[in-house]
Amino acid sequence: MMRALYSGTTGMRAQQLQLDTISNNLANVNTAGFKKSRTQFEDLYYQEMRAVGVENVDGGQVPSGLQVGLGVKATANQKIFTQGSINETGNDLDIAIEGKGFFQVIKDGQEFYTRAGSFTRDADGFIVTQNGDRLQPEFQIPEETVSLHIGADGLMQAKDAEQEIIAEEQLTIFDFVNPGGLHAEGGNLFRATEASGDPREADPGTEGVGVLLQRFTEVSNVEVTEELVNLITTQRAFEMNSKSVQTADQLLEVANTLKR
Amino acid sequence: MHIHNRLGMVEGLETMRAQERRLDQVANNLANVDTAGYKRQKMAFWEMLYNVTDDRQRIGKGAHNLIDHQQGNVQQTDKPLDLAINGEGFFRIQTDRGIRYTRAGNFELDPVGQLRMPSGGLVLGQGGPVVLDPAGGEVSIDPQGLIQQDGAPIDQLNIVTVNDLTNLAQEGDNLFRLEDDGAEVAAVDFRVRQGYVEKSNVNSVEEMTAMIDLYRNYQAQQKMIQGIDEMDNLAISRVGKLS
């Protein structure tokens, strides 16, 4: 059968995947710390279609190199870690990272990384994410605390009514060689993989990682207009690929009616 | 030279098959409308003399594909490792199968800091693969391909072109392969732009037009074959009849 049928199908499938990515980006337009994804494509193998052994009258070979491509494949869904805009919330436990880096949290004994810095306090006074996973290094806020100060350099200080420091902890953040290789786990969490490299721990503001901003959150880096334009081009590209399939079908119909 | 109507049928058939190949190509171009650095394929046809058995000759159809190396649109992405070449040239890529070439500049870092394509090929600088310090600061790349990290020069991208672009064959994975009689030459007229990616150069209007064109051509050849069939039919049933 004609390759065009299948090449067209690969194109439709690729555009469908792109649509899934765009929908997910749009759905998370208001998710704190969310990072948008982009689907990356590559062309598939090329089939060599030489007219083997055919000679022209001068005894020369027919110029070879008739290559027909077999369509497209999606290779990667890269996360784009550009900075989202930073909003003031006034909440003491909202921390935004301005620059590179992730917070580390422990969930079910495993390490995960996030940029969604809207934390809260659990029953024991530990700083946790909205899902109850503890921020690392752990910090237990004493009960008699009246104010909590988190500096740009990550120093967390709990003060009592007399402005005495009653507990202190250095918050560190983590960076990766290739953040694009992190595995998105859902729940705003990422997991380190072979492609992302091992996490590198640093105090905020040192070794190229970002600084902390207390009482701010980082919103999603999805831009609605950009996604909508991508949505339009995806839909049109899908339609064009469906035309390849349709035309291949029409050619087959013409071929079928050769014999009356 | 023998001439008989079988030849017309063979010609019609050949043209139909060529149009099928052309559709395969159009479908592949359209499937890669969003593939970074993809270059569209075109097909050239010409007439040629074939030798057939017992010294007969006939005119047949030759076809081969051409790659249209026109630059695709360049899109801003703001990712520091996205590079587009404005002008001539290709990034040199080291793969398991040897040196390959690409215009798809959506690069990333691997765990040891080597600059690579998403499919794994390593981007070559002047002295082997480009290696960045994963723990280092901002990477900046100037229009001549000089890579700097934290203001200190690291390497220069190895941007080359070939003596004749027809010696490049597409291999998949956004790569081009240099055929036997091709040779690399240094690229001169180019500017590297950081934070941009070159998109596919497929023009959807052209491809849709080609699709309409090849469809009608296919239909016309079908009618021709049917016409010859009609003549044969008449020959069989009418020749020798008196009235």
ipTM of model? 0.77
Confidence at B4, pLDDT banded by 50, 70, 90: low
In sequence order, what are the residues at sequence separation of 6 or more whose Cβ sits closer than 8 angstroms to the Cβ of residue B149? Answer: B132, B133, B136, B137, B138, B139, B140
| Mean per-residue pLDDT over chain B, rounded | 87
Confidence at B53, pLDDT banded by 50, 70, 90: low
pLDDT recorded at residue B51: 62
Average pLDDT of B179-183?
Answer: 83
Our CA-based measurement puts residue B229 at a distance from the nearest CA of chain A, in whole angstroms, of 9
Confidence at B29, pLDDT banded by 50, 70, 90: very high
- From chain A, pick out residues whose CB is under 8 angstroms from the CB of B178: none
| Element spanning B220, H or E | helix B204-238
The rounded percent of chain B whose pLDDT value lies above 70 is 91
Give me the total of CB pairs closer than 8 Å, taking one residue from chain A and one from chain B. Answer: 198
Average pLDDT of B22-29?
Answer: 92
CA distances A105 to A135, A179, A220, Å, are 4, 17, 19
Our CA-based measurement puts residue B235 at a distance from the nearest CA of chain A, in whole angstroms, of 18
Nearest to A115 by CA among A103, A130, A100: A103
pLDDT recorded at residue A68: 81
User: Average pLDDT for consecutive 10-residue bins of chain A (260 residues)?
Assistant: 88 94 93 89 79 49 66 86 89 90 91 91 90 89 87 90 88 85 87 82 87 92 93 94 93 88
Nearest chain B residue (CA) to A82: B79
pLDDT recorded at residue B2: 46
- Higher pLDDT among residues A57 and B201, named by residue: B201
- From chain A, pick out residues whose CB is under 8 angstroms from the CB of B170: 43, 46, 67, 69
pLDDT recorded at residue A141: 87
* Token digits of residue A221: 């880096």
Please count the residues of chain A.
Answer: 260
DSSP B112-180: TSBEE-TTSPEEEETTEE-B--TTS--EEE-TT-EEEETTEEEEEB-EEEES-GGGEEEEETTEEEE-T
CA–CA separation, B155 vs B132, rounded Å? 9
pLDDT recorded at residue A239: 94
Highest mean pLDDT among A29-33, B9-13, B198-202: B198-202
User: Residue A10 and residue B20: Cβ atoms within 8 Å?
Assistant: no
Strands (DSSP E) found in chain B = 41-51, 57-67, 74-76, 83-87, 90-95, 98-102, 108-109, 115-116, 122-125, 128-129, 139-141, 146-149, 152-156, 159-162, 168-172, 175-178, 184-186, 190-194, 196-198
**pLDDT over 50 at B186, yes or no:** yes
CA–CA separation, A91 vs A121, rounded Å? 12
- From chain A, pick out residues whose CB is under 8 angstroms from the CB of B58: none
User: Is residue A7 within 8 Å of residue A240, measured between CB atoms?
Assistant: no
Looking at the partner chain, which of A14, A45, A82 has a beta carbon nearest the beta carbon of B31? A14
Our CA-based measurement puts residue B12 at a distance from the nearest CA of chain A, in whole angstroms, of 11
In this predicted model, what pLDDT tens digit does every residue of B54-97 receive, in sequence order? 566 666 777 777 899 999 999 988 788 899 999 999 999 999 99
pTM over 0.80: yes
